[in-house]
Structures are given as C-alpha cells and as structure tokens.
Amino acid sequence: MLRPNFKYELKQLLRSNWLWLLCIILISLFSFATYNGLKKVEAREALIASAKAKTQENDTKMLKTLDSLEQGLEVHLKPWDLPSDPIVVGSDHPRVAAMPAADFTFLATGQSDLFAHYKKPKVYGGGIIEDFTEMTSPVQLLFGSFDLAFVIVFLLPLLIIAFSYNVLSAERESGTLRLLAAQPIGIRTWVLQKLLIRFFWLSVLVLVSLIGVLLVFKADPFTNISGLLGLLGLVLVYMLFWFALAFLVNLWVGSSAKNAVAMLGLWIGFVLLVPSMLNQLGTTIYPMPSRTLMINELRARQADATERQDEILDNYLRDHPEYAVNDTTETRNFWHGYMASQNLLRDEIKPVTDRYNAQLKKQQRWVNRFKWLSPAVTIQESLNKLAGTATSDYENYREQVLAFSEEWRAHFMPFLYNNQKFAKADYPDLPRFEYQKQDQSQMASIPMLLLISLVLFGLGFLASRNMKSGGILNQA
C-alpha cells in the first residue's frame, strides 16, 4: 500500500503546486539568510584584518624608531613616547587577540552581536572593568538577526504546519474518508504513511535548496564535511519532530481549522513560550548581582590601591626578590608603584568578578538542564555551537584573552623592575595570541530529538487506538 500512496501523494502535490511553492519559498529564505550571515562574517573578518594591519603598521614605525635610537640618531618623539620604554611598548603596541570566524559562523549569529571579536590587552588600563563589558546593541537585541538558524528554528516549522495540518481532516471534509476506510489499511497507518511521504519530499527540497544556496554563495560547505553532516542531521530530526506533532494533531483534534489552531499553539509553546519561561525562571532562581554595583566596587578598590602604591610596591618587591635586587629608592618611578598596585588590585577584585560569573554560569546550566523541554532551544544551541557563536565559545575566548593579558603584562615586568630598556632585538620575543577553538559536539542533540519524535509517533498509535469507532478514526 505504501507504493500506491507514494505515487498518489506525489501526483497530488505536483497538481496542487505545493512542491513548487515550497521550493521557491525555501530558496528565497535560505538565500537571504545566507547572504546576511556571510555579510556579517565578512564585516567581522574585515574588522580583525584592519586591526592587525594597524598593529603591523605601528610595529614597523616602532622598529624604525628603535633602530634610530640604537644608532644614536635623533628622533622626534617626546621622552615618554619613546619605544625604548617597556611600558610604552606594552601599552601603545599591543597584540591583537582575535577570535576568527569558523567555517559555519554564517549559520547562526548567536552571541556574536553581543561581544567583541578582538581585544588588545595592554600592560595597564582597560583590563579590569572593560574585559567584563558586553558590546550590546539595543536595536539588534530587539529585532534579532535573520540568519539560517532563524529560518530553521522559527520559519521551517511554520512551513511544515502548512504542509501537514489537514492530512486527515481534508479527506473527511471532502467526503473521501469512507472510501479510505474501505481500503485494506488502518487510518492511523495511512496517516503515518502520508506524513512520512511528505516528510521525505520536504526533506529533499530542504536539503537540495540549502546545499544549492551554500554553493551559489560560495560558502564552501564541503570543506567541513562533519559540520555539514551535523547541520543536515539537525535539520532532519527537527523536521521529523514537527511531523510527529502533526501526526498526533491529525489523529486527535478533528477539523482543519482546529488542527491549524492546535499546531500554531504548539509552535508558539515550543518556539516562544518555553524558551522565555526557561530564561525567566533561570533569572529568578539565580538572580544576577547588580552590574553597576560591581563596577562601582571595582572603581573604589582601584582608587584605594592607587593611594597605597608605595606600600604595595614594598610588599610586591618582598614577594619578588628577583626584582628587589636591582631596586633602589632613587631608581623607582611612577610605573613601579602603579604596576604593583594593579597586580594587587587584580587579586582583590577576583572574588567580585567570580561571584558575577558563577551566577551567570548557574543560569546557563539551568537552561541546559531543561532545554529538552523545547526542541527549538536544543536546535538553536546546537546550531550556535556548530557556528562557533555559542555562549561557551565566547566564554572560552574570554578566558584565553585574560590568560594572554596576564602573559603580556608579565613579559614586561622584568624590563620594568630591572630598569632595562626595550631593544629592537627584543621584538621577536613578544608574546603572540593564537585562538584555540574548543571542540564541541552538536551530535548529541540528534539521537535525543530522534527518540522524542519516535515516542510521539508511538504515542499517537497507542492513544488513538482507544478512540470511539464513530469518530474521525473510523477503522477499516
């Protein structure tokens, strides 16, 4: 019976122009979303490239100035701007600590519209408060981003609803249900076959359209086969989940109008309400400390440390005898006390920032624990991980930047406290930042969503078996 159903369903879809309409809609949505995503990636890479080019230009000027100083030539710079001073090099010539785009970054905006993609750690300033500041855009947060993840998570289910909400009710309303009941097949089995056939054709359209659009826009999806397979697998299991819901609604509800309302209600629940409730509950159970109070406390401690610089410097030199050997009161300058106070300040504010970050991680763990209540949340998070724009990706980047910032400052401390000038020969030894992308598998979502879909199909068979024979499920 499956083969006749397959042929009949294909003819019906072609005659009704459903397949052509879906193909046009999918290609249009995928094209616009891919274009937007690639433009954002291009802007991100251009911004990083510009920062690196500017750094290289400044380094070239610095090396020329150092060469002139070492040859005893006159340079037209203020004494406090000379690159022979290690503090000048550490503050005016920082390295670019960039987070480059991944192969599938165009797929999902994720957190990329909230956080910077490169930092320039310096030996002083900008490393205490600013490292914990987000680059928020109220307009961007309000309207969101039209990317492929948005099309897959929000819009694709609506196409599935329009494609499957009246599979059984249309037959009843057109008067052909009695003819179907005369066939040697149960109505439940017939509905399942018809939905699976539609799932097959829609999957073909989605996969062909998606891969075709990526090739047209030269997104090079085949350079990362595992990522491409992960993307296609996530799309297929997400589609199967919505077809499983359509199976339940077609068996349980009744008329086409009621089916449409029920499916749209489920879409609102799974895509909008459940994610909002999870986020709101996480915020309520694990409230964040006031960011304003945290920044005010950091500034108060910074002012106090500045007033106690001499005392802090003495303690710092006692803890670092390798620097105290070359120290005399006459050779001390402002930077000796300032850098020692900043080191102490970083240790003192660590508990403050740790409390803030710990509460944020609790909220994230709360969402991860209950994300299975909404396949939309699960798929969105998986797509963000595939794109390298998930919260965990930016947390990993932040930790790497903080570690490099410490390495950058530590590199200049021997120059400062040993009263050693920075020379041209020291330039190759400057620390370099290399971003290490963390390995995150998004495949764990696929078997879980597949299992949920199979449970829904099984639930439809078991629950509908007990319905009255006079209802819409009049069995053959």
- pLDDT tens digits for range 305-320: 667 766 666 666 666 6
User: Would you place residue 329 in the very low, low, confident or very high pLDDT band (cuts 50, 70, 90)?
Assistant: very low
What are φ and ψ of residue 438, in 5° steps?
A: -80, 145
pLDDT tens per residue across span 38-49: 999 999 999 999
Tokens coding 262: 């029920």
pLDDT for 251 beyond 70? yes
Mean per-residue pLDDT over the chain, rounded = 82
Domain annotation covers residue 348: no
User: Would you place residue 465 in the very low, low, confident or very high pLDDT band (cuts 50, 70, 90)?
Assistant: low
User: Would you place residue 64 in the very low, low, confident or very high pLDDT band (cuts 50, 70, 90)?
Assistant: very high
Distances (CA, A) of 211 to 29, 152, 282: 13, 14, 37
Q: What is the pLDDT of residue 162?
A: 92
Domain annotation covers residue 315: no
Arithmetic mean of pLDDT, 418-430: 91
Tokens coding 409: 């400052």
Q: What is the pLDDT of residue 297?
A: 74
User: Would you place residue 160 in the very low, low, confident or very high pLDDT band (cuts 50, 70, 90)?
Assistant: very high
Tokens coding 453: 């879909």
Residue 188 lies in domain: 1-285+374-476
Q: What is the pLDDT of residue 43?
A: 92
Tokens coding 40: 């954002």
Domain annotation covers residue 123: yes
pLDDT for 389 beyond 50? yes
Domain annotation covers residue 149: yes
Domain annotation covers residue 344: no
Among 76-85, 159-168, 231-240, 335-344, which range has the highest average pLDDT?
231-240
pLDDT for 135 beyond 50? no
Q: 431 and 407 in contact (C-beta within 8 Å)?
A: yes
Distances (CA, A) of 387 to 150, 310, 425: 13, 49, 41
pLDDT for 469 beyond 90? no
Domain annotation covers residue 292: no
pLDDT for 27 beyond 90? yes
Q: What is the pLDDT of residue 327?
A: 52
Q: What is the pLDDT of residue 370?
A: 85
Please state the pTM of the whole predicted model: 0.84
Domain annotation covers residue 346: no
Q: What is the pLDDT of residue 470?
A: 40
Tokens coding 129: 């408060």
pLDDT for 142 beyond 50? no
pLDDT for 65 beyond 70? yes
Number of domains in the chain: 1
Q: What is the pLDDT of residue 456?
A: 92
Domain annotation covers residue 327: no
